[in-house]
């Protein structure tokens, strides 16, 4: 097949480790052509976010409409939306315009546990989620979506993945990076039941952008592999290797980025 074209609808990260920048790097590393529609500008580095400048929802819509009027999009990754208005605009695009698989990374809670969305925006993301093909929350985000305590064991993680699938009616990949232990376990819940994907945990402080990178990798690989299970497994393998090689970069003084181009540099 021709090179797949993948669209990221997400916020910008000037440090390059997360957001649109991480998405485009991931697409390129995995053989997909990347396009991007911005939902927000941020002022951030490896140590944190100091400011957010939202893009008006009408202009988010204009970016996507103008793109798809000319370019065929084979898959979409949705990341940081920032506000209820933008989430609702993106939901309209998914329902009416974007005729391809969509992966939603529901960016709600930072790695440090800080809430990144207000209640109205969370509700809007929950209305968007049933319209997409895969949702990839981490542990804290799943807890917000379900209104419960964060999972502390793989058994609880599995139960929450099943409950999210039941409520949303779409595939859920509940990431287990927040759980303790020597292995990182993600749980996929869909119409076939549940499946676990495990990998040895990589010991590193350089975890900035892991959620963005995993969801983008899935979106990049799905058009090439044609199967959700294969795409998710390949994405997890890619992220594990990117984490393993992240210490080679030495970017910033906080939580550095993963090494998106570990196979090329």
Q: Which of 79, 209, 234, 256 is catalytic?
A: 209
Catalytic residue list contains 209: yes
Catalytic-role residue among 11, 100, 158, 175: 175
Instruction: Supply the pLDDT for residue 115.
Output: 57
* pLDDT at 113 exceeding the cut of 70: no
- Work out the pLDDT band at 160, boundaries 50, 70, 90: very high
Residue boundaries of the structural domains of the chain: 5-248
Question: What's the pLDDT score for residue 2?
Answer: 83
pLDDT at position 116 is 62
Residue with tokens 């988010």: 60
Average per-residue pLDDT for the chain: 93
Assigned CATH class of 5-248: alpha beta
| Residues 50, 75 contacting (CB under 8 angstroms) | no
pLDDT of residue 179: 86
Q: Does 111 have pLDDT greater than 60?
A: no
* pTM, rounded to two decimals: 0.96
Cβ(86)–Cβ(80) below 8 Å: no
The active-site residue, picked from 11, 211, 234, 256, is 211
Q: Which of 25, 136, 212, 256 is an active site residue?
A: 212
Q: What gap in Å lies between CA 195 and CA 192, rounded to an integer?
A: 9
pLDDT in tens, 15-52: 999 999 999 999 999 999 999 999 999 999 999 888 88
Over residues 54-81, mean pLDDT: 97
Decide if 211 is catalytic: yes
Known active-site residue 169:
no
Q: How much is the average pLDDT of 188-213?
A: 94
pLDDT at 124 over 60: yes
Residue 5 designated active-site: no
> Out of 26, 136, 207, 213, which one is annotated catalytic?
207
Does the annotation count 212 as an active-site position?
yes
Distance (Å, rounded) from C-alpha 2 to C-alpha 176? 34
Query: In the predicted model, is pLDDT for residue 193 greater than 90?
Result: yes
From 210, 234, 236, 256, the catalytic residue? 210
Task: State yes or no: pLDDT of 123 exceeds 80.
Answer: yes
Say if residue 143's pLDDT is above 80: yes
Range of lowest pLDDT (120-124, 144-148, 212-216, 231-235): 120-124
3-state per-residue secondary structure call for the chain: CCCCEEEEEEECCCCCCCHHHHHHHHHHHCCCEEEEEEEEEEEEECCEEEEEEECCHHHHHHHHHHHHCCCCCCEEEECCCCCHHHHHHHHHHHHHCCCCCEEECCCCECCCCCECCCHHHHHHHHHHHHHCCEECCCHHHHHHHHCCCCCCCHHHHHHHHHHHHHHHCCEEEECCCCCCCCEEEEEEEECCEEEEEEEECCCCCCCECHHHHHHHHHHHHHHHHCCHHHHHHHHHHHHHHHHHCHHHCCCCCCCCECCCCCCCC
């Amino acid at each position: 097949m021709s090179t797949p074209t993948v669209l990221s609808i997400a916020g910008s990260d000037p440090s390059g480790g997360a957001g649109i920048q991480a998405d485009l790097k991931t697409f390129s590393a995995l053989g997909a052509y990347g396009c991007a529609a911005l939902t927000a500008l941020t002022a951030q580095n490896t140590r944190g976010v100091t400011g957010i400048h939202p893009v008006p929802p009408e202009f988010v819509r204009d970016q996507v409409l103008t793109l798809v009027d000319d370019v065929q999009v084979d898959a979409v990754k949705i990341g940081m939306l920032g506000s209820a208005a933008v989430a609702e605009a993106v939901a309209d695009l998914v329902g009416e315009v974007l005729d391809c698989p969509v992966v939603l990374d529901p960016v709600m809670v930072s790695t440090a546990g800080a809430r990144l969305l207000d209640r109205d925006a969370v509700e809007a993301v929950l209305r968007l989620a049933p319209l997409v093909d895969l949702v990839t929350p981490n542990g804290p985000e799943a807890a917000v979506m379900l209104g419960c305590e964060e999972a502390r064991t793989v058994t609880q993680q599995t139960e929450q993945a099943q409950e999210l699938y039941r409520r949303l009616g779409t595939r859920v990949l509940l990431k287990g990076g927040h759980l303790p232990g020597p292995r990182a376990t993600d749980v996929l819940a869909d119409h076939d039941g549940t499946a676990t994907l495990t990998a040895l945990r990589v010991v590193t402080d350089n975890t900035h952008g892991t959620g963005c990178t995993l969801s983008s990798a899935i979106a990049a690989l799905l058009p090439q592999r044609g199967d959700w299970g294969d795409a998710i497994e390949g994405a997890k393998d890619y992220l594990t290797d990117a984490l393993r090689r992240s210490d080679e970069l030495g970017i910033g003084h906080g939580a550095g980025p993963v090494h998106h181009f570990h196979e090329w540099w």
